Amino acid sequence: VSAAGQDFEMDSKYEMIKPIGHGAYGVVISAVDHEFNAKVAIKKIPNTFEDLVDAKRIVREIRLLRHFNHDNVIKVLDLFTPQPHDDFSDVYIVSDLMETDLHRVIYSRQQLTNEHIQFFLYQMMCGLKYIHSAAVLHRDLKPSNILLNANCDLKLCDFGLSRGLLEGEGTSGANLTEYVVTRWYRAPEIMLSCQDYSCAIDVWSVGCIFGEMLARKPMFPGSDYIHQLKLIMKLVGTPTESELWFVTNQKANRFVLSLPKYDKEDLSKSFPNAEREGLDLLSKMLLLDPARRISVEDALAHPYLAEVRDVDCEAVAPGPVDWGDVETCELNRDNLMRLLVEDFVAQVEARSKFTAADLGGSSTE
């Protein structure tokens, strides 16, 4: 079958429904998985090794998603190439089929009630708790990376920029220049060239998304780096020198201190219709100092989320993700192909243990 100019060579257990999107790395279709009688999304990535940096990003994401197993994180259901394992260029990734994303919902005419916002925020935090427990930072959370179904189920996706939190897995600032993480959702410590960063960067991003759900417009739509920082300071207030302890880069430190002096803004002015408890949580998620920013655990226990909280959803990963030598091996086609073949083989075994309940997207019923 063919979609958006791409031929899909798939096992007969998959039957295409329609093309549903195409992005930088490939074309996505919806399909029926006849083995489990479920609807799935199938992404074809053609010419995977054309750009080795992009290919490494794909390998990294596949490795992560294969290890993740949580209701609020997108799941890899199948992984294959129709070509010989010793020389292939196309990779197919089968995952949960979701109906839309949070960006589309925010900018639609659909009503977003306080209950919706609480439930979406709670699920994002459950997903974060899980990936952080696997020693992984997402690093690129934004509304278009938050997938939704009509029943309000939410899943985090797009882990191509993610990094491990353990020693030697690249949490130093040097890696941040590798790709442009979407600026509007980027934590200030990343923008200020801090060498070490933590789970707090993802909490900042979710705070930006929370504010965007409340106002139905971006919180910090900076047109460039300097504008971005000014917008942040206008809301949270300009820090004193002692509050900038985490900015070890002298140039960045001097730059912040040279900005106009802003007082912290009263959030109820920007969000007149929001609940007081919601604004309390938002202010704690958007603290400039990453050490004082609310943790995922404390956010989950915040009174604003009490009505939607279900501790059974707050599962943690069995252990840190095993990256193998993804980050350390020489970047070449042979190594990336070897890593993908390891994943193809492991996924065959994983799929053999699946039940219909593992396919958490849409049922064909």
* Model pTM score: 0.91
The answer on whether 44 is annotated among ligand-binding residues is yes
For the chain, give the number of residues. 365
Phi first, then psi: give them for residue 74, nearest 5 degrees.
Answer: -60, 145
| Strand blocks (E) in the chain | 2-3, 6-7, 14-22, 27-33, 38-45, 76-80, 91-96, 100-101, 136-137, 146-148, 154-156, 163-164, 362-363
- Predicted pLDDT at 250: 84
Low-confidence residues of the chain: pLDDT under 70:
24, 166-181, 194-195, 360-365
- Predicted pLDDT at 173: 41
In this structure, the dihedral spanned by the alpha carbons of residues 137, 140, 145 and 151, taken in order and rounded to 10 degrees, is 40
**Residues classed as catalytic:** 140
Structure confidence by residue, pLDDT tens digits, 128-149: 999 999 999 998 999 999 999 9
Cβ neighbours around 279 below 10 Å, total: 19
Q: Is residue 123 classed as helix, strand or coil in its secondary structure?
A: helix
Q: To which H or E segment does residue 335 belong?
A: helix 333-352
> Which residue segments constitute the domains of the chain, with CATH numbers given?
2-97+324-354 (3.30.200.20), 100-313 (1.10.510.10)
- Predicted pLDDT at 360: 59
Q: Retrieve residue 116's tokens.
A: 């919706």
- Predicted pLDDT at 171: 43
Structure confidence by residue, pLDDT tens digits, 10-26: 999 999 999 998 876 78
Q: Is residue 252 classed as helix, strand or coil in its secondary structure?
A: helix
How far apart CA 77 and CA 205 sit, in angstroms, is 28
Burial of 250 (0-12, 13-18, 19+ CB in 10 A): exposed
* Secondary structure (DSSP) of 181-243: --GGG--HHHHTT-SB--THHHHHHHHHHHHHHHHSS-S---SSHHHHHHHHHHHH-PPPTGG
